[in-house]
Amino acid sequence: MKIFTTEQIRSWDQFTISHEPISSIQLMERASMAVAHWISEHCKNHKKLAVFCGNGNNGGDGLAVARILYLKGFDVDVFVSDPKRKFSEDASVNLKRLRDMSGISVRKFDQIEQYNFDDKTIIIDALFGTGLSRPLEGEYKMLVEQLNTKKNSKISIDVPSGLSADEIFDQNTVVLKTDYTLTFQCWKRTFLHPETGKYTGKVEVLDIDLSNVYTDTADTKYFVIDGDLIESIFIPRNEFSHKGTFGKAVIIGGSYGKIGAAVLATKSALKTGAGLTFTLAPECGYEILQTSCPEAMFIKGGEELITNFEIDNDFTCGIGPGLGTHPETEKSLLDFLKNYTKPLILDADALNIISKDPKNLKLIPKESIITPHPKEFERLFGSTENSFNRLELARKKAKELDIYMVLKDHHTQVITPQGKVFYNITGNAGLAKGGSGDILTGILTSLLAQGYSQEQTCILGVWLHGRAADFTSEKHSKESMLPTNVIDEFGRVFEELNRKAERSL
């Protein structure tokens, strides 16, 4: 799914209006019907709505939603700044339609203090949507501050008020903290970053049938990894394939006390389909690895830490889990990278070793994949003010170094050397445990070994990782789930992918 800017979304609306054709007020009604339908289906235990409307088209959506839900049996009260103020053309039409009905009161914002917000009241936010270009101020700021003190469930239409769709405002900006955001047609970038996404609650993307022609032709560098993209990447197994068809993956990692990381990465590579899986680890991990991962072959890389990185030319390498940063390991890894030219996966301590000297960055083979979390990224490339700036720096560095980057976060970002960004929306806070990154390294190494391109490997890999984690949290809870539980759910994810692939034939 493409992510468009506010300006592009306006163009998308206008393109749809002129090419469908449909009037702007009809398109507003279509969007409002979608919102009203969602609320009526998901809020059956709440029959009282307080709808807060701005003077623009987002307010027009709110006025239409209020009317539609009133006709569906909800008790609706509408709040506006001043009914006598000028509204947008389409919002004015919906305000008149509302006034022509009896039973819906239209109040001013300053009456909020006298209003009874009982526990059955839902607050509907239709103040600004994508129309906000600066932080809230004046009466709108005061209103949102008041609404944030209410314990009632809150639903924002399109974008929570106070939040830009495209950029981060000042950290002290007042934003409505909502429980649900019912957004139109596509994700907005601010929903996907930690500083701003914390305000959106659960995001529901409502299809209002905007033009597919515009979607296909409009250019963007930002995408959300969705089911359609994954189905276009995933390749089901040919019945006449054999183990040689799916490549040779080698996990290089482990050191005394950290063999578990190598075990997790190895199990992950095995369970995601590599034809042959090897683990290059120190001798101290031999029995652990051979016992816990009998399907993988062991290559000795040292005694208590790895000092020998010698591998066959046809291996696909994933380096870093539990590696340690001992001086002997550091020297051996850097010597290995000086002479190795094939794309590989670098994670964890491999990245920590490289980060010790900026010159080491040039040793990363072209078209390799690196998987830093925010702190590892900072060690490699320097600190940034926020995650938006971090992403832009990542795009710059991916292009300079000709590498792919998996920037781990709540919504992990895949960055390509061409500057494209793919946000992953699978996964949950249960992955916030040691070992989760080791699993991801195993997945990526396995997929790259199987012949997926680097871009496909990253996109499919982070999605699969998150999807398995979502299945795992259903069984074990986010608090109790373990990385090994996530590995156990890979089979369920592949079953799902294969079923979808069969249906598409």
| pLDDT of the residue at 45 | 84
pLDDT in tens, 208-239: 999 999 999 999 999 999 999 999 999 999 88
Q: What average pLDDT does this structure show over 199-216?
A: 97
Averaged pLDDT for residues 420-439? 97
Mean pLDDT, residues 267-296: 97
> Residue 129 CA to chain centroid, in angstroms?
21
Q: How large is the average pLDDT for residues 30-45?
A: 95
- Domain-wise residue ranges, the chain: 6-220, 231-503
Q: Given this model, what pLDDT does residue 387 score? A: 96
User: Taking 80 as the threshold, does the pLDDT of residue 171 lie above it?
Assistant: no
Q: What is the pLDDT of residues 129-149, one digit of tens each?
A: 998 889 999 999 999 999 999
Q: What percent of the chain has pLDDT over 70?
A: 100
pLDDT of residue 133: 87
Residue 110: pLDDT band (50, 70, 90) is: very high
At 82 the pLDDT is 86
Q: What is the CA radius of gyration of the chain?
A: 26
What proportion of the chain, given as a percentage, has pLDDT over 90?
93
CA distances from 290 to 6, 166, 287, 293, 295 (A): 55, 50, 5, 5, 8
* Per-residue pLDDT tens over the stretch 14-24: 999 999 999 99
Q: If pLDDT is split at 50, 70 and 90, which confidence band does 505 have? A: low
Higher-confidence position of 243 and 235: 235
Q: Quick one: which of 288, 280, 287 has its CA closest to 305?
A: 280
3-state SS assignment for residue 195: helix
**Average pLDDT score over residue span 280-300:** 97
Element (H, E) at 209: none
Bridge partners of residue 75, in order along the sequence: 48
| Distance (Å, whole) CA 172 – CA 216 | 37
Average pLDDT, the chain: 96
The SS3 call for residue 151 is coil
Per-residue model confidence (pLDDT) at position 240: 82
Looking at CATH, the fold of the domain delimited by 6-220 is given as Rossmann fold (3.40.50)
pLDDT of residue 479: 97
Q: How many CA atoms lie within 13 A of 346 on its CB side?
A: 30
What's the whole-model pTM score?
Answer: 0.96
CATH T-level assignment (fold) for domain 231-503: UDP-N-acetylmuramoyl-L-alanine:D-glutamate ligase (3.40.1190)
- How much is the pLDDT for 503? 82
